[in-house]
Amino acid sequence: MSKQDISVQKKELSPQEKRLLGLERSKSDGRVERLLAEFRNERPSIDIERGKFFTESFRATEGQPLVLRWAKALYHYAKNATVYIDDGQLIVGRAGKQGRYGILYPELDGDFLDEAIKALPARESSPFDITPEDARTVIEEISPYWKGKTFHEALAKALPEDTFRLTYNADAEHSSRFIVNETASFRSSIQWVHDYEKPLRVGFAGIRAEATAELNKLDEFSPIDNTEKKPFLEAVILTADAIVLFAERHAIEAEKKAKNASDPLRKKELKELAEICRNVPKNPPKSFREAVQSQWFIQLFSRVEQKTGTIISNGRMDQYLYPFFKADKEKGILTDDAARELLECVWVAMAQYIDLYLSKAGGAFNEGYAHWEAVTIGGQTPDGRDAVNELTYLFLKSKREFPLNYPDLAARIHTRSPKRYLHEVALTVKDGSGFPKLINDEEVVPLLLSKGASFSEAYDYSVSGCAECRMPNRDTYTSPCAYINFAAAVEMTLFNGKMLKYGDEVIGLRTGEVGDFKTFDEFLSAYLRQQKNFLKHAFIQQHEIIRLRSEHFASPLGSGLHALCMREKKDIHSPHIAGGIDLGYFEFIGYGTVIDSLAAIKKLVFEEKTLTLSEIKKGIEHNFEGYETLRARLKSAPTYGNDDPYADEIGRLLDREALDFTVKYSEEFGVHLDLRLVPFTSNVPFGKVVAASPNGRKAYSPLSDGSSASQGADVNGPTAVLLSNFATKNYDYSHRAARLLNLKLSPSCVAGDSGTEKLVDFIEAWRKLKLWHLQFNVINRKTLLDAQKDPEAYRNLLVRVAGYSAYFCELSKDLQDDMIARTEHVDF
């Protein structure tokens, strides 16, 4: 008698599902809940102040060194931007109107801002509101200044014709073709993380003093010192002044509000706030509360400074805040609950900031107002010991109880992570909102060492953005990288360089008509030539991006917080900074789709000989309509994600071929461009240009996601998914970046104490397999279907999309369908 016979586990609901169904009342209705209620249901609006003040300042500083212009723009903003103090908030500072807001970065997209603003409220993915008056300012004042000056215009002009053709459509906006896609024009930096520990240690007064001392040491006769180093140091000083001024204006506002406050408790809080904003971030914090406020000012100002991909990450918060936490607890002036409330006040502030993407490509990349200001917890100390402390557990507790998807919590795991930590991580995962994501020290640390880091730097890495890892004072690569649609390369192999969507235009290489391929190896080498051609153009793009960015972007705040930039007196966006490690990547989109397509062709056409390539082409041309048997056959071939060596060997080959390319060519420009499998939500828009594929995927539907299996193809359970991931990696190479792996689990998989134990076993297996990243969705498929039908009732339903959790109901229909289609691993 087997378990199969007679077991129905009672359908378990995750705590999140219980909350939605009203089965479990939210535990408290305190300060944070009131703050949340203020903005929960409102549509985000656009605040134009950042765009307006930057444009005003840039008009006035033409011809000056760029880094200094940036600092002046920041100062202009700090002096003039509206200062807000929200009722009930303990942590202050926002870069836009009350409620959820997005801000403008016209240096990126100012030239088409006017058109984009007109189209925004109606956009399907991530819509925004803007007042008619603000819209007029954008259209008449901001946008005209930037026409002809933006980075993406310069980049489009710089790309050779054949690279351009794979990158953009031939329209005025240079809309993305989603084949070899650049991401450098809709953000001015790749995901990034600051060394927050330094400003907490010395304050911006300290950074200012350091820059001033360096300024005084410059060689007054040196042309380099005068034209490059001097403006850099002046910019760092002015930026320090700007952030301190911004904080002081909050102190003044708090005092004003305190005078008018009728509630004595709030009056007291406001007076304290005024005192705090006078002290930080200028000086080192005197308390945990001041440390949290100081950190928030820095990350907020960083958001004003530039658009960082996925928004500036928070670094190892449980490490750099711990001394303040510990000291206050020892003094008896801080409780765990009070500390958690302060952190949650920051999470509320983060949640109100929306990562506004105005280009269609940007919006499609990051659906659901996505941003990942990753907070790293756990891991190891710089001297290689376990880093978990009481604050680590407080972050996990906050994540279990705080109902929003901010911050994006990332838990570092290593071989000596304490059992208690692993259990609390598992318990938090079980809550159902997909946090924390897990990052594996056993994979990341050796790779960082292989790139030239010291042990202490490697042990001290921070998770940055979605799944990347950075060493804040050693990483120097900020150029956003290429996303490459290799499913399109399969299509071009079948159609001799063309794609059905683009008719007779030859976009890829002419690798031959399908009738010419006599063996699978011939077909495979034709595909690999297309793959190599995409890589070539991606690298050409990257070369031009690196070259051009320093003429368009500067980051005096980020550079002032970076040890190497201060030593070299160079902005972080400079093409090369001595002593830095340049960690970039290129993204392989549609990994599972390509593997499964090649496996089907190999098996059915060249081994079993039950199909021909011409038949497959015909089926693809008709999107398998009237070709259901053909499609069924294709789908019956071996697939990636099932621990099936037939498919996995193909996956390993594709991985290795791409690695060989980067081994050979990225050295040419002194950058580590490593293979990455992290799609955000871009597997959906990239799928929209690719016709049906030989694995039976229908035309223009989403490609496989990250290093996950094709939707619904993984039928052997999550252990097989992990083993396939392991089997397709080339561990003898060091040129690999993150591989993102999503697993959806039904709550019944992890119910009860034994469910937690089994989840810990699973996490430990993932750690032993040295896989980079893992994240879970603990949710019922039925819940997602219900939410799709009745979005109003499921407004608060969080799901894990890629590297982040988002509100399910704010995702587009396509992406919702994609989420539902991904196999749910029920317990067997």
Partner 1 sequence: MYGTIFNIQRYSLHDGPGIRTVIFLKGCPLRCVWCCNPESQSADIEVGFDASKCLYGSGCRACAERFGRETTDGATLIGREELNRMTEKTAYCPTKALFSFGKIMTVGEALDTVERDEVFFGKDGGITLSGGEPFFQSGFALALLKEAKARHIRTAVETCGAVRGDIILESAKYIDYLLYDIKHLDGEKHKAWTGAKNAEILKNFEDLCRVFPSLLKLVRTPVIKGFNDDIIDDIRAYAASHGAEFEPLPYHAFGTKKYEYLGKEYPYVF
Q: Is 828 in the site for partner 1 (CB under 8 A)?
A: yes
> According to CB under 8 A, which one of 263, 337, 757, 790 is a site residue for partner 1?
757
Catalytic residue among 466, 565, 749, 809: 466
Q: Which of residues 247-286 bind partner 1 (CB under 8 A)?
A: none
> C-beta of 411: minimal distance to partner 1 in Å?
19
> C-beta of 21: minimal distance to partner 1 in Å?
22
The set of residues, in sequence order, having a beta carbon less than 8 Å from that of 728 and lying 6+ positions away, is 595, 640, 648, 651, 652, 655, 707
d(CA 581, CA 676) in angstroms, rounded, equals 17
Give the binding-site size for partner 1 (rule: CB under 8 A).
Answer: 39
CB 101 within 8 A of CB 352: yes
Helix (H, G, I), strand (E, B) or coil at 47: strand
Choose one: 67-75, 208-216, 277-285, 719-727; the region binding partner 1 (CB under 8 A).
719-727
> C-beta of 726: minimal distance to partner 1 in Å?
9
Q: For partner 1, which is the closer residue by CB, 409 or 429? A: 429
Window 547-576: contact mask with partner 1 (x via CB under 8 A): ------------------------------
d(CA 42, CA 38) in angstroms, rounded, equals 8
Q: For partner 1, which is the closer residue by CB, 4 or 262? A: 4
Other Cβ atoms less than 10 A from the Cβ of 403: the count is: 17
> C-beta of 412: minimal distance to partner 1 in Å?
20
d(CA 199, CA 283) in angstroms, rounded, equals 8
Number of DSSP helices (H) and strands (E) in the chain, helices first? 35, 17
Other Cβ atoms less than 10 A from the Cβ of 448: the count is: 26
User: Rounded to the nearest 5°, which phi and psi values hold at 258?
Assistant: -65, -40
Q: Is 603 in the site for partner 1 (CB under 8 A)?
A: no
Window 807-826: contact mask with partner 1 (x via CB under 8 A): ------------------x-
d(CA 481, CA 183) in angstroms, rounded, equals 6
Q: Is 628 in the site for partner 1 (CB under 8 A)?
A: yes
CB 475 within 8 A of CB 195: no
Q: Which helix (H) or strand (E) holds 59?
A: helix 49-60
CA separation, residue 106 to residues 186, 371, 617 (Å)? 10, 19, 45
> C-beta of 748: minimal distance to partner 1 in Å?
9
d(CA 300, CA 373) in angstroms, rounded, equals 11
Choose one: 2-10, 480-488, 500-508, 582-590; the region binding partner 1 (CB under 8 A).
2-10
Q: For partner 1, which is the closer residue by CB, 233 or 750? A: 750
d(CA 287, CA 271) in angstroms, rounded, equals 16
d(CA 693, CA 700) in angstroms, rounded, equals 9
Three state DSSP letters for 787-824: HHHCHHHHCCCEEECCCCEEEHHHCCHHHHHHHHHCCC
> C-beta of 285: minimal distance to partner 1 in Å?
43
Window 632-651: contact mask with partner 1 (x via CB under 8 A): xx--x------x--------
Three state DSSP letters for 487-554: HHHHHHHHCCCCCHHHCCCCCCCCCCCHHHCCCHHHHHHHHHHHHHHHHHHHHHHHHHHHHHHCCCCC
> According to CB under 8 A, which one of 716, 734, 788, 796 is a site residue for partner 1?
716
d(CA 312, CA 190) in angstroms, rounded, equals 9
Q: Is 3 in the site for partner 1 (CB under 8 A)?
A: yes
Q: Which of residues 737-756 bind partner 1 (CB under 8 A)?
A: 749, 754-755
> C-beta of 156: minimal distance to partner 1 in Å?
46
> According to CB under 8 A, which one of 29, 383, 761, 790 is a site residue for partner 1?
761
Q: For partner 1, which is the closer residue by CB, 519 or 636? A: 636
Q: Is 764 in the site for partner 1 (CB under 8 A)?
A: yes
Q: Which of residues 500-529 bind partner 1 (CB under 8 A)?
A: none
Q: Is 7 in the site for partner 1 (CB under 8 A)?
A: yes
The set of residues, in sequence order, having a beta carbon less than 8 Å from that of 102 and lying 6+ positions away, is 44, 45, 46, 47, 96, 128, 353, 354, 355, 356
Window 668-707: contact mask with partner 1 (x via CB under 8 A): ----------------------------------------
> According to CB under 8 A, which one of 2, 216, 260, 262 is a site residue for partner 1?
2
Q: For partner 1, which is the closer residue by CB, 8 or 122? A: 8
Q: For partner 1, which is the closer residue by CB, 215 or 760? A: 760
For residue 73 the two structure tokens come to: 């723009």
The set of residues, in sequence order, having a beta carbon less than 8 Å from that of 451 and lying 6+ positions away, is 581, 583, 672, 734
CA separation, residue 799 to residues 678, 681, 780, 781 (Å)? 17, 13, 11, 11
Catalytic residue among 17, 49, 234, 468: 468
Q: Is 629 in the site for partner 1 (CB under 8 A)?
A: yes
Q: Which of residues 353-372 bind partner 1 (CB under 8 A)?
A: none
d(CA 170, CA 140) in angstroms, rounded, equals 26
Beta strand spans in 39-165 (E): 45-47, 101-103
Q: For partner 1, which is the closer residue by CB, 161 or 753? A: 753
Window 171-210: contact mask with partner 1 (x via CB under 8 A): ----------------------------------------
Helix (H, G, I), strand (E, B) or coil at 308: strand
> C-beta of 765: minimal distance to partner 1 in Å?
4
User: If we measure between CA atoms, which residue out of 631, 641, 629, 620 comes closest to residue 700?
Assistant: 620
d(CA 756, CA 542) in angstroms, rounded, equals 44
Q: For partner 1, which is the closer residue by CB, 508 or 718? A: 718
Window 767-796: contact mask with partner 1 (x via CB under 8 A): -xx---------------------------
Q: For partner 1, which is the closer residue by CB, 352 or 642? A: 642
Nearest-Å Rg of the Cα atoms of the chain is 26
Q: Is 423 in the site for partner 1 (CB under 8 A)?
A: no
Does the annotation count 468 as an active-site position? yes
For residue 608 the two structure tokens come to: 């079993």
Q: Is 621 in the site for partner 1 (CB under 8 A)?
A: no
Does the annotation count 173 as an active-site position? no
Choose one: 26-34, 302-310, 402-410, 630-638; the region binding partner 1 (CB under 8 A).
630-638
d(CA 201, CA 54) in angstroms, rounded, equals 30
Choose one: 246-254, 342-350, 501-509, 629-637; the region binding partner 1 (CB under 8 A).
629-637
> C-beta of 41: minimal distance to partner 1 in Å?
38
> According to CB under 8 A, which one of 8, 172, 265, 578 is a site residue for partner 1?
8
* Residues making contact with partner 1 (CB under 8 A): 1-10, 626, 628-629, 632-633, 636, 643, 716-720, 722-723, 749, 754-755, 757-758, 760-762, 764-765, 768-769, 825, 827-828
The catalytic residues are 466, 468
